[in-house]
Amino acid sequence: MKLLSTLCVITLSALAIGVAPASAQTTPEKRVWTVSEILAERQEADDVENPRMCMGNRFKPCVCAADVTKLIQYRPSIAQCGKKAGIVMSGRYLTAFSVVVRDRDNRDRWPITFPATGTGYGGCTLAQAKAGLGKCSAFKVQKIIKVKNENGDAEVHCLGQSGYHPLMKGISRMTVKLKDVPGSNADPLERLCLKGPTTPLN
């Protein structure tokens, strides 16, 4: 079961309500996209038969950013995500169990420093952070927005911070868990490289 703080269902026509044009929201260096803009930039799926693999020194490699399927898009800041980073999934990925971003040390739990007393990132205690709760990591999805669109439905997976935030400076890849297999350490995964935390993909 996906544990998320909020699950929203919206239609594309509602996306522009109350949202200023991108040029009015931010400087060009820190652009904020709307979901309607991202879907308008969506390209026809043209999966590479034998995609190139990158970043395979210490961990399993990920599909090079240039060969990542067009059914997955990354943006460093999305208006409907509270200007935080997000991953937009379409087509066959609508049935995926989960998606996270990881850094070059393959961590999906960040930050990992929590005070001995009180709470840390996401209002979490150290015990909650060690348990891997999604709200305790900027790299994990905090909210999913389901979008109805005549050119193909989509899901917007909102991450814990903007791609422009210092906490996200190390992210280098996405991991998509296609299916959760209880009691297994061999869940089907896809590892997809990013161009960087502040650079859009697809």
Q: Convert the pLDDT of each residue in 78-127 to its tens digit.
A: 999 999 999 999 999 999 999 999 999 999 988 877 666 667 788 888 88
Q: Where are the beta strands (DSSP E) in 120-180?
A: 143-148, 154-158, 171-177
Three-state secondary structure call for residue 126:
helix
Q: Are 77 and 30 within 8 A, CB to CB?
A: yes
Tens-digit pLDDT profile for residues 170-189 = 999 999 999 998 888 888 99
Q: Is 132 left (phi over 0), alpha (psi -120 to 50) or beta?
A: left
- Identify any residues that bridge with 89 across adjacent strands, giving them in sequence order: 72, 155
- Identify any residues that bridge with 181 across adjacent strands, giving them in sequence order: none
Counting every residue written for the chain, the total comes to: 202
- What proportion of the chain, given as a percentage, has pLDDT over 70? 84
* One-character DSSP codes across 46-57: ---SS--EE--S
> Among 96, 94, 111, 115, which residue's Cα sits nearest to residue 171?
111
* Helix and strand totals (H; E) in the chain: 3, 10
Tens-digit pLDDT profile for residues 138-164 = 999 999 999 999 999 999 999 999 999
Nearest-10 Cα torsion for 160, 182, 93, 112: 20
Query: Amino acid letter at 36?
Result: S
> Which pLDDT belongs to residue 24?
37
- How is residue 79 annotated by DSSP? G
Label residue 128 exposed, middle or buried (CB < 10 Å: 0-12, 13-18, 19+): middle
Q: Are 81 and 156 within 8 A, CB to CB?
A: yes
